[in-house]
């Protein structure tokens, strides 16, 4: 049986209250700010730290500076808010793994191995949470785009987040296998170029499939998305 949800027509001056079946997002401007802030913490700050470290001491110090920046940000977040965002935690784990591989050996092979290993770590991380009551995609949706789920648990929405978390685990697994094959078959410069292509293609495909799946789930379950006030 499908859940039918009606959207209340707000009148000027009425408080905006979420209906039990609403899936709510912030106003577009606030949505962009929230997503941008999370991406800056987990990607922008580490990249800036890497650039400074690499310029001063080379690739190893650059990777160490990036990892240190992520964990410093995580500690500050923990002290200020009492929690660490999932995207920041993912960035910290992946960068730490890559930094260890870069600093532990001078071998070019082990240095290049960081890329499939990082994808394998992400696969395990997503797969570990997929069958639980807190799938990682649901946590990321709440933190990165401030998605607010209905006040009453909805089986269709819960199933969507679990299944899409498995989807991302599969994408990272395929990327890890593909990069391992490329590592064995291609010279280092070609491998590094193809690593970028595989990573961008995998993230783009996963994002597109997740959005299309989300829209389809909303229609099937009779749920609606509403935007909050700016």
Any idea which of 17-21, 88-92, 125-129, 156-160 has the lowest mean pLDDT? Answer: 17-21
Q: What is the DSSP string of 201-224?
A: HHHHHHHHHHHHHHHHHHHHHT-E
CA dihedral for 28, 29, 34, 36, sign (positive or negative): positive
Residue found under tokens 């509403």: 226
Any idea which of 23-37, 85-99, 124-138, 186-200 has the lowest mean pLDDT? Answer: 23-37
Of the spans 12-21, 56-65, 201-210, which averages the highest pLDDT? 201-210
Token pair listed for 120: 């394998």
Residue 20 reports pLDDT greater than 70: no
Rounded Cα gap, residues 61 and 56, in angstroms: 8
This prediction has a pTM of: 0.74
Confidence (pLDDT) at 5:
37
Confidence (pLDDT) at 18:
41
182-196 per-position pLDDT tens digit = 988 888 788 888 888
Confidence (pLDDT) at 223:
79
CA proximity to 47, closest of 73, 27, 12, 19: 73
CA proximity to 177, closest of 226, 229, 220, 123: 123
Give percent of the chain with pLDDT exceeding 90. 23
């Amino acid at each position: 049986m499908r859940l039918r949800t009606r959207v209340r027509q707000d009148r000027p001056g009425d408080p905006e209250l979420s209906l039990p079946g609403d899936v709510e997002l912030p106003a577009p401007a606030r949505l962009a700010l929230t997503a941008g802030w999370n991406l800056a913490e987990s990607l922008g700050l580490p990249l800036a730290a890497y650039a400074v470290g690499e310029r001063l001491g080379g690739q190893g110090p650059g990777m160490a500076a990036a990892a240190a920046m992520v964990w410093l940000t995580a500690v500050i977040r923990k002290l200020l808010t009492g929690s660490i965002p999932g995207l920041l935690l993912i960035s910290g784990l992946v960068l730490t793994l890559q930094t260890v591989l870069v600093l532990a050996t001078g071998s070019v092979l082990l240095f290049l191995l960081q890329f499939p290993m990082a994808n394998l770590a992400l696969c395990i991380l997503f797969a570990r949470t997929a069958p639980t009551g807190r799938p990682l995609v649901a946590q990321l949706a709440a933190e990165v785009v401030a998605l607010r789920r209905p006040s009453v648990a909805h089986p269709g929405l819960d199933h969507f987040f679990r299944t899409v978390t498995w989807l991302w685990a599969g994408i990272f697994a395929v990327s890890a296998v593909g990069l391992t094959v490329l590592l064995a078959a291609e010279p280092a410069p070609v491998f590094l170029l193809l690593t970028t292509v595989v990573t961008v293609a995998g993230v783009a495909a996963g994002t597109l499939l997740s959005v299309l799946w989300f829209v389809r789930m909303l229609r099937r379950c009779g749920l609606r998305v509403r935007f909050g006030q700016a």
